[in-house]
Chains A and B, each alone.
Chain A
């Protein structure tokens, strides 16, 4: 078994934890508009409002000091924002999600007593007067007596604003800045210290303390009720998530893991548009202390085909439809060309900036917001979008005329652009290259459109069939390296690339064919470490810093194994790779193959899409 990325049980050192916390120490809660990351130590360290890519209100996640320094839990020094509820003494910690839900339950055992926190972002009935977003944290006394410390320190705009704090009632407080406000309502008395709330309460068995933090922008703030009404919100939210989970159409042996991945994926969908963001975080490092720190709070079209396959495969057609509609809507402003990434509303002006006042996760600088990849040319996105459209049309049996017109435009772009060099699926900066995978995805785009046209769902432009044939000819002559006996990363190249496993997953080649078997073998020879796959060989992207194994690549390999009939090997590999998930079943973008530590932005939608699709492939083959 692999080492676990977050054991689920750790001791704290009297409140002065060193930076031994890993990315896997976090768990996510959300309401499908934004999401919060809560640490194993009970501290909500990341939350952006009102939506995923908005400036953070709590940002302690990205000011984690390096090993050997204090972590800023001293209330006099922290300026990044956190909402912490945890024992004031050392405790052993374990946690889980309440089954089939995104409600997090953390248990602290101090030896003198046990307290439990239940954390959620409620999903109350729509249309009522309620906050735009609410964080509800419930503290339960399970046994004995435990002193519990509370700290609420909002620091909006990535820590650049220290909003004024006002007491509105004995246990009601408000922070307001610009047109935004936070209302804290709790049945515990706290003290204001420099615009933060601090306090301690002795919690005994049977106690139940409610803490509600309600956010509103541009409107009159709403204060959420406590007591039975808060219990009702918890029940309503649990019922909603359980009902949603029960719809997952998967009957294989990995239901818990598949449903957890589906729940994580759902949390990363933006309810108001149907978009799916890559992750709720920015700049969690791909190597601790390194500079591969990127903002993933946007939507990558690269992920579209496999995301659609996961939704359709699990029977979540509402999500599939919303995602398809978002794709067609978001890309209108750039049509008939596609950009690499869009935000949840389809905006592409995502200028990259550095937050120099933040030290980053364990001193992993720079902290970036926005993403420079939005200016790159990445031809594989055409294949991802057209294939997603084909998956959606196959599942629903129809394609609206307007969508068909847009898709035809994308096909025309492919016919015009496919010979160009690009930055490839991994958005490698610097000079564009002739990536084999990009050519294969251009072939996939045209193939998907040709299939839709053969079913009478769209009118195909002239030249598509010829371009498809030319692409295959090019890939099979210059993309396949006879010496390697594998497809190569670039035309006429000798490097291997894990993305080429997708040729078997997405229908370009039969995973059982000699060429795909050879590619699978070469990729494993050169890129596998401890049963995990790196995406390419070191230095291929021009960065000196090392990186971990890329989570989803291992699932592409499993998909190939399942589809070529190596069932036992596929199951063994699946159990191995999913064993790197943290204690609550979440995976990041990357995994350190030696230590098992999770790396990169977290949790990563694409990795969980990989879990779902690999499990579905094993179930179906």
Chain B
């Protein structure tokens, strides 16, 4: 069965597993923020793309973040189906690489794309601006790389593990 056939057949499970993985990752990231390990809040960062209202930004950010979590769950699934293997450790590895890209590639680029974030080259502006994340997100706290990587690893491991338990790749499937 091709990857796209598998995808179409297991879409309801995939949506549920994507939600579970996103919730697990969000719990770790928001928990890290609450415990003072990092000041990074990815939902808030995403939400402030759309509005400068803090409350609305948080709500919109969580919605977009959830949809993004589902979107990435599809990509992870296509990857698992493509190589014919879905395990928790493969998911964790994929999550680790995903997190590394986020820290090294995406976050440092954010100041150039985000309408409400300062870049290292900004002078005085006219509106409140968010501090830039810096390399590895270190501006948001020294433990930010660790908590971000942990969140992404747990996301991938959860997704891979659920696909493994469900036996939808390389097995009979439900």
Residues of A within 8 A of B (CB): 127-131, 166, 168-172, 174, 176, 178-179, 181, 183, 185, 187, 210, 216, 218-229
Chain A residues positioned under 8 Å from B128 (CB to CB): 128-131, 222-225
Assuming A174-B131, A185-B124, is B33 touching A223 (CB within 8 A)?
Answer: no
What CA separation (Å) do A172 and B57 show in the bound complex? 25
Chain A residues positioned under 8 Å from B140 (CB to CB): 220
Q: In angstroms, how far is the closest chain B Cβ from the Cβ of A190?
A: 14
Q: What total of chain B residues lie within 8 Å of the partner, measured CB to CB?
A: 35
What CA separation (Å) do A181 and B121 show in the bound complex? 20
From A166, A168, A227, A228, name the one whose CB has the most chain B CB atoms within 10 angstroms: A168
Stretch of B15-23, B38-46, B93-101, B158-166 with 4 or more beta carbons under 8 angstroms from chain A: B38-46
Assuming A128-B128, A129-B130, A181-B39, is B33 touching A219 (CB within 8 A)?
Answer: yes
Contact A129 B52 (CB under 8 A): yes
Residues of B within 8 A of A (CB): 33-34, 36-41, 44-45, 48, 52-55, 57, 116, 118-132, 139-141
What CA separation (Å) do A169 and B57 show in the bound complex? 26
Instruction: Report which of B41, B52, B123, B139 forms a contact with A169, defined as CB distance below 8 A.
Output: B123
Contact A222 B123 (CB under 8 A): no
Listed A/B pairs (26) with beta-carbon separation below 8 Å: A127-B53, A128-B128, A129-B54, A129-B57, A129-B128, A130-B54, A131-B128, A169-B122, A170-B123, A171-B123, A172-B118, A172-B122, A176-B139, A179-B33, A179-B38, A181-B131, A185-B124, A220-B45, A220-B130, A221-B131, A223-B118, A223-B131, A224-B128, A225-B129, A229-B126, A229-B127
What CA separation (Å) do A43 and B111 show in the bound complex? 34
What CA separation (Å) do A229 and B52 show in the bound complex? 15
Q: In angstroms, how far is the closest chain B Cβ from the Cβ of A235?
A: 15
What CA separation (Å) do A174 and B138 show in the bound complex? 12
What CA separation (Å) do A131 and B45 show in the bound complex? 15
Instruction: Report which of B53, B126, B131, B139 forms a contact with A128, defined as CB distance below 8 A.
Output: B53
Contact A219 B53 (CB under 8 A): no
Instruction: Report which of B39, B52, B126 forms a contact with A218, defined as CB distance below 8 A.
Output: B39
Contact B124 A227 (CB under 8 A): yes
What CA separation (Å) do A239 and B119 show in the bound complex? 33
Contact A128 B123 (CB under 8 A): no
What CA separation (Å) do A130 and B34 show in the bound complex? 19
What CA separation (Å) do A172 and B125 show in the bound complex? 11
Contact B122 A225 (CB under 8 A): no
What are the 5 tightest A-B residue pairs by CB atom distance, in nearest-first order?
A179-B36, A221-B131, A226-B124, A129-B128, A223-B129
Chain A residues positioned under 8 Å from B118 (CB to CB): 168-169, 172, 223
Assuming A174-B139, A218-B36, is B127 touching A225 (CB within 8 A)?
Answer: yes
From B37, B54, B127, B128, name the one whose CB has the most chain A CB atoms within 10 angstroms: B128
Q: In angstroms, how far is the closest chain A Cβ from the Cβ of B36?
A: 4
Chain B residues positioned under 8 Å from A171 (CB to CB): 123-124
From A166, A187, A210, A222, name the one whose CB has the most chain B CB atoms within 10 angstroms: A222
What CA separation (Å) do A216 and B48 show in the bound complex? 17
Chain B residues positioned under 8 Å from A225 (CB to CB): 124-129
Chain A residues positioned under 8 Å from B38 (CB to CB): 179
Instruction: Report which of A127, A185, A216, A223 forms a contact with B39, defined as CB distance below 8 A.
Output: A216
Closest to B127 in A: A225
What CA separation (Å) do A338 and B126 show in the bound complex? 50
Chain A residues positioned under 8 Å from B131 (CB to CB): 168, 174, 181, 183, 220-223
Assuming A127-B54, A129-B116, A183-B131, is B141 touching A227 (CB within 8 A)?
Answer: no
Contact B36 A178 (CB under 8 A): yes
Q: In angstroms, how far is the closest chain B Cβ from the Cβ of A55?
A: 14
What CA separation (Å) do A269 and B52 show in the bound complex? 28
Closest to B132 in A: A168
Contact A218 B57 (CB under 8 A): no
What CA separation (Å) do A131 and B131 show in the bound complex? 11
Q: In angstroms, how far is the closest chain A Cβ from the Cβ of B138?
A: 9
Q: In angstroms, how far is the closest chain B Cβ from the Cβ of A164?
A: 10
Chain A residues positioned under 8 Å from B52 (CB to CB): 128-129
Contact A221 B121 (CB under 8 A): no
Instruction: Report which of B34, B55, B121, B141 forms a contact with A176, defined as CB distance below 8 A.
Output: B141
Chain B residues positioned under 8 Å from A226 (CB to CB): 124
Chain B residues positioned under 8 Å from A224 (CB to CB): 128
What CA separation (Å) do A176 and B40 show in the bound complex? 13
Known: A168-B131, A171-B123, A225-B126; 11 extra A-B contacts, CB below 8 A, are A129-B116, A130-B128, A168-B132, A172-B118, A176-B141, A185-B124, A220-B44, A221-B131, A222-B128, A225-B124, A225-B128
Contact B129 A222 (CB under 8 A): yes
Closest to B33 in A: A218
What CA separation (Å) do A130 and B53 show in the bound complex? 10
Chain B residues positioned under 8 Å from A131 (CB to CB): 128
Q: In angstroms, how far is the closest chain A Cβ from the Cβ of B165?
A: 36
Chain A residues positioned under 8 Å from B129 (CB to CB): 222-223, 225
Contact B54 A128 (CB under 8 A): yes
Contact B130 A221 (CB under 8 A): yes
Q: In angstroms, how far is the closest chain A Cβ from the Cβ of B38?
A: 7
Q: In angstroms, how far is the closest chain B Cβ from the Cβ of A27?
A: 27
What CA separation (Å) do A224 and B126 show in the bound complex? 9
Assuming A129-B52, A219-B44, A220-B44, is B125 touching A179 (CB within 8 A)?
Answer: no
Chain B residues positioned under 8 Å from A127 (CB to CB): 53-55
Contact B120 A169 (CB under 8 A): yes
Closest to B130 in A: A220
Closest to B143 in A: A179
From A128, A169, A221, A223, name the one whose CB has the most chain B CB atoms within 10 angstroms: A223
Contact B34 A218 (CB under 8 A): yes
Chain B residues positioned under 8 Å from A221 (CB to CB): 39, 130-131, 139
Closest to B121 in A: A169
Contact B37 A179 (CB under 8 A): yes
Closest to A130 in B: B128
Chain A residues positioned under 8 Å from B130 (CB to CB): 129, 220-223
Chain A residues positioned under 8 Å from B55 (CB to CB): 127
Closest to A232 in B: B126
Chain A residues positioned under 8 Å from B116 (CB to CB): 129
Contact B127 A220 (CB under 8 A): no
Chain A residues positioned under 8 Å from B45 (CB to CB): 220
What CA separation (Å) do A181 and B144 show in the bound complex? 14
Q: In angstroms, how far is the closest chain A Cβ from the Cβ of B174?
A: 42
Contact A227 B34 (CB under 8 A): no
